[in-house]
Structure 1
Amino acid sequence: MPTRLRIITFDELPNWMKDNDLVITGYRAPTPSFWICAKTLFSLHNETLSIWSHLLASIYFFSLYASDLKYRHCRTLVNDDLFLKLYYLTATIAFICSAIYHLFCCYSHYVRDILVKVDYIGITIFITGSFMTWLYYAFHGETSQNCVYLYAICFGGLLVGILTQLDHFNARESRGHRAGIYVIFGLSLTIPAILLFQKSCKSRQTTKIISSVIYTTIIYMTGGFIYTTRLTERLWPGKVDIIGHSHQIFHVIVVIASIVHEKMIVFIATTNEEMVDTKKWLL
């Protein structure tokens, strides 16, 4: 059993660790020791940025979930409070699952296969949670319509979750399929967005809600494009192996998009609170 971290090249990797042949160096050798894998958190290799970006993001969102002060603007609307917490919790789960996978994926083939599926489940939970919060605030006060959309997105999330557990989904040649499934799932949100825009296109609240979808969609699509095409390592082969390859950039972009979404739903929740307070004052 190895007693320290060993950095190797792509050609030296066993087949089960080979994924992106455009990233040439900076790989951790197979390390069948959880302790040594854990210590690589503080080493420089081509997974370092991927691990830390999502580990810090999980800490950030958990702090929001745990902090009572963050919800002081939603005291009147109990459900608003719950849906904000849902978003923070699903974000925390997704980012910690991702960080754990990238930290321990060099342990063994068996452990890697388990952890990558856990990672995909985390991603699916986060997308579903993001959609649920958006739909709740977008159709605030419209209980029947809201329920239909929420049940539909939960069903979609369940289907995607099942697909991500298939062995084919994790195959090296399925990079495009993985991105495609999540893109299709994401684009399903355009249906209620269009309906909302048609219903109240002149509302300031609707404008903000639609804008939040457009902003986050552009950010996520950019990240997905870079990840699928492996853009940076194609443009600068061998120069972005440690810092700057497509998977790392994708991780950072996902964190940015999740924070943008968080700021948007907090703004919308605050506006909902103000509208309720105004109505009470008028009454």
Structure 2
Amino acid sequence: MALTKLFVPRLLNSDQVPSWYAHNDYIHTGYRPVTKSFVLCVESLAYLHNETVNIYSHLVPAVLAALLGNYVLARHFNSHFPKAFWKDQLVFHIHSTTSVVCFGISDLWGCLDYVTIVLQILGSFISGIYVGSYCEPNLQKNYWSMVHRHLSFLAGFIVLNPRLQGTKSKNIRLSAFVATGFSAFAPIIHAACIFPYEQLDKQAGLRYYYLEGLLIIIGVMLYATHFPESWKPERFDIWGASRQIFHSFIVLGVFTHLYGALDAFEWNYVNQRCRPH
């Protein structure tokens, strides 16, 4: 039986689509027609347009995060940390699960983009604080409480505020997310007053968090300034636009965080400062 041939619609220019869709003034071509059809949106995964790289730069990492979170991570814990407590593994599964949700949903349903980023920040904070304060449960609770307050404000004021959802408010949203993400350095600064820095670097994986922060800053700066497409409009409509680079740097940051948290947990596991809890 012959296979049904995929219908590939004619791609449109920015002046042929609604303004909410052509939100980047420097991306002029490669737009899919607005169909309001879920099926046609799924079919658009099979042909090239100016959202293809954006979609796959999240979907592929979502699959990888799902595998790492549900299979590879479990095997790694069983083989390397046989005496680890159940909560030890749970915090890493939380990080992987929030990564899957963030990568897998945000580019399929754009309206949930910022909600899933909040979840991703939450997952990163939980795992980072857990391993960094492994033997200090009271500090963990205080730090988590601080994070909860920050994320509640972020979700309520930025994510759910309809006045801040337009393209004109993009930089406000980006600034809020960056500020919230970097509030993780408040526990680090506090911990640096308690532990020798060399020890803290190992027990919390600080060097990896610095790298993660650098990746996020670079990605956000490129996204906020629309570089490189603002430099040469239309050249980067399909490949190499700022949002694509931003996605890639965020993905690198997430996996850098996971690797750093695992490395820090291994140090805490080997250098028993306290009984497992």
TM-score under structure 2 normalisation?
Answer: 0.90
Answer with 158-167 or 35-44: which moved more: 158-167
Question: After superposition, where does 1:56-67 map in structure 2 within 5 Å?
Answer: 56-67=60-71
CA distance in structure 1 between the aligned counterparts of 2:178 and 2:26, rounded to whole angstroms = 24
CA distance in structure 2 between the aligned counterparts of 1:144 and 1:234, rounded to whole angstroms = 48
CA distance in structure 1 between the aligned counterparts of 2:105 and 2:152, rounded to whole angstroms = 18
The equivalent of 2:77 in structure 1 is 71
* Contact 2:65–2:100, Cα closer than 8 Å, also in 1: yes
Query: Does the C-alpha gap of structure 1 residues 279 and 133 become closer, same or farther in structure 2, counting only changes over 3 Å?
Result: closer
The equivalent of 1:152 in structure 2 is 146
CA distance in structure 1 between the aligned counterparts of 2:245 and 2:197, rounded to whole angstroms = 36
Question: After superposition, where does 1:136-215 map in structure 2 within 5 Å?
Answer: 136-162=130-156, 163-207=158-202, 209-215=205-211
The equivalent of 1:112 in structure 2 is none
Letter in 2 for 1:95: F
Answer with 43-52 or 194-203: which moved more: 194-203
* Contact 2:28–2:237, Cα closer than 8 Å, also in 1: yes
The equivalent of 2:268 in structure 1 is 272
* Contact 2:192–2:200, Cα closer than 8 Å, also in 1: no
- Percent identical among aligned pairs is 24
CA distance in structure 1 between the aligned counterparts of 2:54 and 2:137, rounded to whole angstroms = 40
Of 91, 100, 103, the match for 2:108: 100
CA distance in structure 1 between the aligned counterparts of 2:181 and 2:106, rounded to whole angstroms = 19
5+ residue gaps in structure 2?
1-6
Give the deviation of 1:246 after TM superposition.
0.6
Letter in 2 for 1:126: Q
CA distance in structure 2 between the aligned counterparts of 1:214 and 1:4, rounded to whole angstroms = 44
Letter in 1 for 2:190: L
Letter in 2 for 1:70: H
* Number of residue equivalences: 263
CA distance in structure 2 between the aligned counterparts of 1:57 and 1:5, rounded to whole angstroms = 27
Match of 2:129, SS state, is helix
User: What is the root-mean-square deviation in Å for CA atoms of aligned residues?
Assistant: 1.8
TM-score under structure 1 normalisation?
Answer: 0.88
Match of 1:231, SS state, is coil
Match of 1:35, SS state, is helix
5+ residue gaps in structure 1?
102-114
> Residue deviations 1:207-236, cap 9 Å, x none?
562212211111001100000010111122
Of 216, 228, 232, the match for 2:228: 232
The equivalent of 1:55 in structure 2 is 59
The equivalent of 1:5 in structure 2 is 9
* Contact 2:8–2:47, Cα closer than 8 Å, also in 1: no
Answer with 158-167 or 239-248: which moved more: 158-167
Letter in 2 for 1:226: L
Structure with more helix by fraction: 1
CA distance in structure 2 between the aligned counterparts of 1:198 and 1:6, rounded to whole angstroms = 60
The equivalent of 1:134 in structure 2 is 128
Query: Does the C-alpha gap of structure 1 residues 155 and 202 become closer, same or farther in structure 2, counting only changes over 3 Å?
Result: closer
CA distance in structure 1 between the aligned counterparts of 2:81 and 2:165, rounded to whole angstroms = 41
Of 102, 116, 123, the match for 2:117: 123
> Residue deviations 1:239-273, cap 9 Å, x none?
00001111111011111111111111111112222
Q: Does 1:82 align with 2:90?
A: yes
